[in-house]
Amino acid sequence: MNEFLVSLLITLIKIGVLLGVALGLGAYLTWFERKLAGHIQARLGPTVVGPFGLLQPLADGLKLMTKESIIPKGADVPVYYLAIMMAVAPAILLFSVIPFGPEFTLFGYQIKPIISDVNIALLVVFAMGSLAVYGTIFSGWASNSKYAFIGSLRKAAVIIAYEVVLGFSVLGVILIAGTMSTIGIVEAQIERGVWFIFYQPVAFILFLFCMLAESGRVPFDIQEAEAELVTGYNVEYGGMRFGALPLAEWYLNVMALSAIAVVLFFGGWSGPNILGPFSPYFWFLAKMFGLVFFVIWLHWTLPRFQAKDVTEIAWKIMLPLALVNVLVTAVVVYFFGGGT
Amino acid sequence: MPWINRATIDRVKQEFKEEVQVSSGEHAVSLEVSHGKLKDLLRYLKDKERFLHFIDMTCIDFPEDTRRFKGVYILYNPEENERVIIKAWAQNGKLPTVSDLWPGAKWAEREAYDMFGVEFEGHENLRRMFMWEGYEYFPLRKDFPMEGIPEQELPSLTEVLHGRTDPPSHDYEVLHTKVPTLEDLERTEKARLQKKAQLVLNWGPLHPGTHGTIWFLFDLEGEFVVQSDVILGQLHRGMEKIAENVYYFQFLPYTDRMDYISAICNELSYVTAVEKLLKVEVPEKAQYIRTMFAELQRINSHLLWLGTGALDLGALTVFLYCFREREKIMDIIEGNAGYRLTTAFLRIGGVHYDLAEGTLDVVKAFIKDFPQKLKEYHMLLTRNRIWLRRTKDVGIISREDVYAYGLSGPVARGSGVPYDLRKLEPYAAYDEVDFDIPVGEVGDVYDRYLVRMEEMAQSVKIIEQCVEKLEKMPKDAPYINKDHPAVIPPKEDVFMSLEDMVQSFRVVVHGENAPPGEVYSSAENPRGELGFYIYSTGGSKPYRLRIRSGALYNLSIFPKLIQGKTIADAIALLGSLDPVVGETDR
């Protein structure tokens, strides 16, 4: 009984820490993106609020929260609100299967820095990725706006296409590691001393594309497409309700998927011990933000594809590639051994 | 540009005998044809004499004549490089439509119908062009008062909200005025499109993709546009009506407000036309200053096009890179003209100010630096796979369509038609500078993109030559021809000498009488041919001033190009046609 209470407590603390860190980082990612975009575009980015504009996210948040919220005429109000939850919840839930570091002992208790170490962790990732589409679809449908509707339908088409590719691209890693548990995959890489990106470069590139598509980043940001659809599915939202949608999609999703990419391809928390017990966390976050940086960099450099092109690329180019990759991996693993 | 040659006129006379009268003015040759033979003559000119390119169509109102309206058609022969004006009286307020010969006439005829109430028999969609459905008056008729019809004036927001201290920001019931707004929107939407598809998308009037207040209606089948309609007029200010009521020199600042991105080019087009009519000689220095600033303005305008075009296609950074360079040009213009956007820098007979101290150095620094920046833009876009995917083979315009729709500027050149008025009808100092005209091959969005990019490089070349020439000129060379009675002398002289003061007063108070006659003169604007057709009956104000807008004609092909394409293509296409609403609506 006592043990159950303690583990419950530990889990609650972990959830609290993770929520705080994820949402805080998500908010500060806006600052990071604006600053980065500024420098890419030969500007300075935010400088006024706080040193280096560091308080800008707070100011933005305050502004969004105090804004009048207008619900369009003819909107489906319950679904309108549900959409926000359906967008934010899966993005946060993605973090629940991410291992940030190795197991450690504190006050005699074994603690894993992961909320739930399930052995089907990757399936959870796919499931949450697919669930996120409901947020977009609901928001598009409930807004009673054609722009939002078109945007959300585009997103649905993209998610369907890229979920399939995502599944197949990760299959190679699962075959090699022999497990679906995220901790297991990281440990498999540490055991071998090789990151899986060297075994599965094609899979990584496919995963990267899927990551861009799922999080609606350039060049696959067709559901926003501010020039044609005026930001598409979230056009009828105001105030913090509006703020939550990009927060979930552009920041939380990108961070979570980057973290999963780090787990799958970059050896998770592995890295030289430079900071003592904090070293794994440092490496994990460094790798993760390296990927996030890459995504933002692309966002501010490339033009955007057309909707039909985006799905075409998924079905006609990436899916066959992923299948071939899986096949080759399977053959190699079968003959030369690999997983357990 | 030469006008129709003698041999052709003789052939026309042989064909039509007494039905055609030729009047050769100093600046234009026009054929006057009887109402019944108008269509035959136009068809003959198009098929037999190869006057393929439709330039413009408009009307003139003569209230004292029983026939009242006269239709004016301007055509161009690309093989001989000749223009001709055809005129015919309307009968019972009706003219035959020529939109079956040149689809580009569709909008011009709608405009004439909107402004004069002339009906065009056989026109497939004769609706108001700029005014709203249900408006009873025809503004360009001579009996329409300058100040408008009072009961049709719109109440201001203060009047509407009178007595209310808590005006709700989104209460359309309260804010609904006689201007077409939300309810009319629905009515117009239904009237404009026979709803055949799943979804009618209102794209505009205020939409980031339209670059202004154009209103598109897309009839969508999934994401594909089955048919579309363009509703213009949100920025219509009645420029042509204003022009009829002000002196020639007073209209100059209004031209700035048409294509506000290339103000100096507009002014240049206008002063060229007026100088032809008033026979004003322009000093050489002024010509070079004009050319240099017009080309700077062209780069400025193309940079805005590039930035917003790339922004539309998702390349967010190119936008700011373009604005960085654009800012430098704006500074140069501001340093010399005193204004950044609507400069009113040119004057009839010259330019307003002499070159400011150090202008040439700044310009030289700019043109030295700019080619590298141009390379940067090329690096970001030209071979980018996504950019190619979005622009290649999208919106292909054939050569025939260029002529039929009266397209001009980079849109025409993108389709391989070397129609550049700087070469064909040199104005300012364009005949003394050396430059090339880039043309495309396929005529798709990508070709138009490349043409504009190359035009910027060519503009740099022109500016270089102008700077060289200007540097050699003496500092005190005249920059305005103040010997001509129509020219307002520069302000310094007005305050110093009595004669100049008298002349200034005389022109400002009475205007300068122009000889009777007509002139059509056009200039190569960044957005195509901007032409001014001035019909003068003597007097210091034009009897009729028609503005031939390149952007309007270029936009008129949009509904045809977008059919069967997606809305994502619509912005790529619209960006490549590059209309500015100030000019399309005037």
The Cα diameter of chain A in Å comes to: 64
Q: Which positions in chain A touch B208 (Cβ < 8 Å)?
A: 226-227, 230
pLDDT at A283 (0 to 100): 86
pLDDT at A279 (0 to 100): 84
- Residue B188's pLDDT band (cuts 50, 70, 90): low
- Residue B172's pLDDT band (cuts 50, 70, 90): very low
Instruction: Please name the residue of chain B whose CA is at the shortest distance from the CA of residue A40.
Output: B317
Q: Which positions in chain B touch A218 (Cβ < 8 Å)?
A: 314, 316
Do A228 and B312 lie within an 8 Å CB cutoff? Answer: yes
Do B315 and A301 lie within an 8 Å CB cutoff? Answer: yes
| Strand, coil or helix: A178 | coil
Residue among A219, A228, A305 minimizing CB distance to B567: A228
Residue ranges of E strands in A175-264:
none
Cα distances (angstroms) measured from residue A5 to each of A10, A80, A184: 9, 38, 26
Do B199 and A37 lie within an 8 Å CB cutoff? Answer: no
* Residue A120 CB neighbours (<10 A): 13
A277-297 b/e with 16+ CB inside 10 Å = b?
eebbebbbbebbbebbeebbe
Chosen for mutation from A220, A223, A306 (greatest number of chain B CBs closer than 10 Å) is A306
Above 70 in pLDDT, residue B190?
no
Above 60 in pLDDT, residue B185?
no
Residue among B201, B390, B566 minimizing CB distance to A303: B390
pLDDT at A1 (0 to 100): 62
Do B387 and A299 lie within an 8 Å CB cutoff? Answer: no
Do A302 and B389 lie within an 8 Å CB cutoff? Answer: no
Cα A35 to chain centroid distance, Å, stands at 21
Residue A156 resides in a domain: yes
Do B314 and A302 lie within an 8 Å CB cutoff? Answer: yes
Please state the domain count of chain A.
1
Residues sharing a CB contact under 8 Å with residue B475, sequence separation 6 or more, in sequence order:
none
Residue A29 resides in a domain: no
Do B321 and A219 lie within an 8 Å CB cutoff? Answer: no
**What DSSP string describes B8-52?**
HHHHHHHHHGGGEEEEE-SS-EEEEE-GGGHHHHHHHHHHTS---
Dist. CA B83–CA B2, nearest whole Å: 7
Please report where in the chains the tokens 């407590």 appear, as a residue: A9
Q: What is the mean pLDDT of residues B119-125?
A: 82
**How far does A38 lie from chain B, in Å, by closest CA?**
9
Dist. CA A120–CA A132, nearest whole Å: 19
| Strand, coil or helix: B227 | strand
Residue among A219, A300, A306 minimizing CB distance to B317: A300
**What DSSP string describes B517-536?**
EEEEEEEEETTEEEEEEEEE
pLDDT in tens, A140-188: 888 888 888 888 888 888 888 888 888 888 888 888 888 888 888 888 8
Percent of chain B whose pLDDT exceeds 70: 91
Above 50 in pLDDT, residue B170?
no
> Minimal CA–CA distance to B377: which of B297, B467, B455, B465?
B455
Residue A80 resides in a domain: yes
Nearest 10 degrees: Cα torsion B135, B136, B140, B141? 180
pLDDT at B192 (0 to 100): 55
**How far does A147 lie from chain B, in Å, by closest CA?**
8
Please report where in the chains the tokens 């209460």 appear, as a residue: B171
| Strand, coil or helix: A140 | helix
Instruction: Please name the residue of chain A whose CA is at the shortest distance from the CA of residue B312.
Output: A227
Q: Which positions in chain A touch B170 (Cβ < 8 Å)?
A: 70
pLDDT at B460 (0 to 100): 92
The answer to whether the Cα torsion of A282, A283, A285, A286 is positive or negative is: positive
Q: Which positions in chain A touch B390 (Cβ < 8 Å)?
A: 303-306
Instruction: Please name the residue of chain B whose CA is at the shortest distance from the CA of residue A297.
Output: B317
Do B380 and A301 lie within an 8 Å CB cutoff? Answer: yes
Q: Which positions in chain A touch B209 (Cβ < 8 Å)?
A: 227-228, 230
Q: What is the mean pLDDT of residues B75-93?
A: 87
Do A41 and B313 lie within an 8 Å CB cutoff? Answer: no
Instruction: Please name the residue of chain A whose CA is at the shortest distance from the CA of residue B325.
Output: A42
**How far does A90 lie from chain B, in Å, by closest CA?**
27
Dist. CA B367–CA B175, nearest whole Å: 50
Dist. CA B415–CA B439, nearest whole Å: 7
Domain of residue A307: give its range.
Answer: 76-336
**How far does A214 lie from chain B, in Å, by closest CA?**
17
Helices H / strands E in chain B, number of each:
23, 15
* Residue B389 CB neighbours (<10 A): 17
The Cα diameter of chain B in Å comes to: 75
B203-234 b/e with 16+ CB inside 10 Å = b?
bbbebbbbbbbbbbbbbbeebbbbbbbbbbbb
Above 70 in pLDDT, residue B263?
yes
Q: Which positions in chain B touch A71 (Cβ < 8 Å)?
A: none
Above 60 in pLDDT, residue B124?
yes
Q: Which positions in chain A touch B569 (Cβ < 8 Å)?
A: 306
**How far does A59 lie from chain B, in Å, by closest CA?**
24
Do A300 and B321 lie within an 8 Å CB cutoff? Answer: no
Instruction: Please name the residue of chain B whose CA is at the shortest distance from the CA of residue A70.
Output: B170
Dist. CA A223–CA A231, nearest whole Å: 7
Of B64-68, B202-206, B330-334, B353-357, give the range with the top mean pLDDT: B330-334
Structure-token pair, residue A122: 């990757």
The answer to whether the CB of A234 falls within 8 A of the CB of A169 is: no
Residue among B223, B324, B567 minimizing CB distance to A42: B324
Chosen for mutation from A228, A299, A311 (greatest number of chain B CBs closer than 10 Å) is A228
Above 60 in pLDDT, residue B39?
yes
Q: What is the mean pLDDT of residues B507-524?
A: 86
Residue A54 resides in a domain: no
Residue among B170, B317, B570 minimizing CB distance to A40: B317
pLDDT at B302 (0 to 100): 92
Residue among A70, A301, A307 minimizing CB distance to B568: A307
B152-180 b/e with 16+ CB inside 10 Å = b?
eeeeeeeeebeeeeeeeeeeeeebeeeeb
Dist. CA A94–CA A26, nearest whole Å: 14
Dist. CA B299–CA B438, nearest whole Å: 15
Do B170 and A300 lie within an 8 Å CB cutoff? Answer: no
Instruction: Please name the residue of chain B whose CA is at the shortest distance from the CA of residue A151.
Output: B223
State the count of interchain CB pairs (< 8 A) between A and B: 84
Low-confidence ranges of chain A (pLDDT < 50): 339-340
Q: Chain B residues contacting A, CB < 8 Å?
A: 170, 199, 201-202, 207-209, 223, 310-317, 320-321, 324, 380-381, 384, 386-387, 389-390, 566-571
**How far does A159 lie from chain B, in Å, by closest CA?**
17
- φ, ψ dihedrals at B12, nearest 5°: -60, -40
Range scoring the smallest mean pLDDT among B2-11, B181-190, B220-229, B451-460: B181-190
Averaged confidence pLDDT in chain B: 83
> Minimal CA–CA distance to B396: which of B368, B372, B415?
B415
Residue A12 resides in a domain: no
B111-127 b/e with 16+ CB inside 10 Å = b?
bbbbbbbbbbeebeebe
pLDDT at B175 (0 to 100): 43
pLDDT at B299 (0 to 100): 92
B297 or A340: which leads in pLDDT: B297
Environment class of A68 (CB within 10 Å of its CB; exposed 0-12, middle 13-18, buried 19+) = exposed
Dist. CA B354–CA B337, nearest whole Å: 9
